[in-house]
Amino acid sequence: MRKSDIIGLVLLAFVIGCRVYVPLADFYSLRCYPVISSSLSLVASAVPVSLEEVVVIGFVLAFIAIIVRTVRRREGFFRWLAGTARVAMWLVIWLYMGWGNNYFRTPLYSRLSIEKAAYSYEEFSRFLADYTESLNVAAGTAASCDRDALETDVKEYYSSVVSNFGYTGLRKWQHIKKPIINPLYSSVGVLGFMGPFFCESQLNLELLDVEYPFTMAHELAHLAGVTSEAEANYWAFNFCRQSDNAAVRYSGYLSIMPYFASNARSLLPEDVYAEWLSALSEKAKQDYAACREYWDVKRIRLIDNAQRWMMDRFLKTNGVANGASDYVGVVGMIITMDSYSCK
């Protein structure tokens, strides 16, 4: 064994320890991740494009190189297995030490000692009415926003507000990065993603203006250490609705409209649901339909389905019980957290 293998095994033991022992994961999130994310993103800030894709391509080439070397040198199966295991070990270590160990920390509700709000028809109906009114008002006043100023506002919000809930503040050198293979993300409807290798947040270059504020806030929530997709949606929505800019508020309300619609369809009587749909702003409904049509044209179904399956497996493997459907939980979280903040 090489000396680097010993170091790797120690780090791998730490990763496994975070997975099975929550206090160790909490230590990582509160003490280690702020330093690691700041350091990695500082290195990445010198490059205008995403380094996450470079790392992934590098690991893929490394696995291919091991196969080629094994065939050319006619080495045995166990030499190939040892080389593959070594590369896989460092892939796992980098992924989890860079960001992934945040999956295993104490969840937000447990940290705040609160229970998820139980369903109440009256409470949900009241909240839905408030949401609808705010959406309709924002739809009628929305204009545009400066994207550079928006990034500054989002980072300030996370550093001053969200950091109070056990997450790390965002640094001035942590900027939104440009994906290298952007058409691939459009083909699977990925609007943005958080890279664990250099702690970079990437946004799809083809984002519509109305989607941009919410998506940026969502991805920067992951950079702050949020792993739950529902919670990232919650913080993104919370940022948007408190903004002074009507376009930013509209982005937040419109972006979570499908989640409210899904809950309303499941929880409300059919006639009440139809009445709610008729109360929605025509502009909001047209904008939502336009967004769906815009991305549907770009999707490649085979790749899209494969990506969704892999994302679902990845999330469930890392303790997100609902997998890819975790996004929908944002409505329950909004109601729960709004009740908590009113106490």
Strands 200-203 and 192-195: antiparallel
Segment 241-263 mean pLDDT: 93
Count other Cβ atoms within 10 Å, centred on residue 289.
10
Report residue 324's pLDDT band, with 50, 70 and 90 as the boundaries.
very low
Report the pLDDT value the prediction gives residue 342, as an integer from 0 to 100. 53
Report the pLDDT value the prediction gives residue 327, as an integer from 0 to 100. 47
On the question of pLDDT at 168 being above 60, the answer is yes
Report the pLDDT value the prediction gives residue 310, as an integer from 0 to 100. 80
Q: How far apart are the two ends of the chain, measured CA to CA in Å?
A: 57
Q: Phi-psi region for residue 76, left (φ > 0), alpha (ψ -120 to 50) or beta?
A: beta
Average pLDDT across the chain, whole number? 91
> Which residue ranges make up each domain of the chain?
3-104, 119-341
d(CA 330, CA 240): 14
d(CA 260, CA 266): 10
**pLDDT tens-digit map of 95-107:** 999 999 999 999 9
Share of the chain above pLDDT 90, in %: 71
Report the pLDDT value the prediction gives residue 329, as an integer from 0 to 100. 82
Of 138, 133, 96, the C-alpha closest to 8 is 96
Report the pLDDT value the prediction gives residue 252, as an integer from 0 to 100. 96
Q: Between the ranges 60-64, 121-125, 141-145, 308-312, where is the mean pLDDT highest? A: 60-64
Segment 47-61 mean pLDDT: 91
Report residue 328's pLDDT band, with 50, 70 and 90 as the boundaries.
low
Report the pLDDT value the prediction gives residue 322, as an integer from 0 to 100. 60
Taking only Cα atoms into account, the Rg of the chain, rounded to an integer number of angstroms, comes to 22
Report residue 145's pLDDT band, with 50, 70 and 90 as the boundaries.
confident
Q: Which spans in the chain are helix H?
A: 3-20, 22-27, 33-44, 52-73, 77-98, 108-112, 121-141, 147-160, 182-187, 212-223, 229-241, 246-255, 257-267, 270-279, 282-298, 301-317, 330-341
**pLDDT tens-digit map of 294-307:** 999 998 888 778 87
Segment 221-235 mean pLDDT: 95
